[in-house]
Amino acid sequence: MAISLISAALGFVEFAPTLIRWLSGNRDAEKIATQVIEIAKKVTQAPSSDEARIRLRENSDTAHCFHNEILKLETEWEISLLEDRQLARERDLALLKAGHANKRADLMIISAAAGLVLCLLSLAFYSDMLPGEAVGIISTIAGIFGGCLKDAFAFEFGSSRGSRVKDSTVASMIERIGA
């Protein structure tokens, strides 16, 4: 069910390309897909997602309206994501103030670093003995571990000063739009 729902929502990427970001690799992809399909059906007054897609292709005004509704929804998703991160940071700070280390985060980072090192070592020492497919899979896994470390560092150390200014500007713009 979830895969077909997400596939149906991906059919609307041609009208709102940023949907790909929200529908691929997101833990809430099924919920997001449902929202996208409901918006498409509401805007086009179509009984199904397939019919909605056809109507969006036929009417540029309707497609524009759909795109605007998706932008509003993306704003809500972005705010929710930022709030989740802020709550996680506040939790970490509360743990530190209470004198407790965040063992779960430490274990996560150590595991990701160890996984990355093991992948790189296996590639360095055994790539000649492994079939090309195995080398590709191990390289992909190493990339995933590297991405995990990148995300952990971005979370831990936050954004650059310029990015923080941009974030606060966007947040104030979002607040003005919502008001």
The model's pLDDT over 15-48, given as tens digits with 9 standing for 90+, comes to 888 887 777 766 778 888 888 899 999 999 999 9
**For residue 73, is pLDDT > 90?**
no
What integer pLDDT is reported at residue 8 of this predicted model?
A: 83
pLDDT, tens digit (0-9, with 9 covering 90-100), for 91-106 = 777 777 887 777 777 8
Angle, vertex CA 81, rays to CA 102 and CA 79, nearest 5: 135
Contact 37, 49 (CB under 8 A): yes
Give residue 173's pLDDT: 62
Phi first, then psi: give them for residue 128, nearest 5 degrees.
-70, -30
Higher pLDDT, 9 or 86: 9
Provide, for the chain, the percentages of residues in helix, strand and coil under a 3-state DSSP scheme, each rounded to the nearest 5.
80, 0, 20
d(CA 116, CA 113): 5
The model carries a pTM of 0.51
- Beta strand extents in the chain (DSSP E only): none
| pLDDT recorded at residue 158 | 64
Task: Give the H or E element holding residue 71.
Answer: helix 60-97
How far is CA 2 from its chain centroid? Answer: 17
Contact in structure between 95 and 102 (CB atoms under 8 Å)? yes
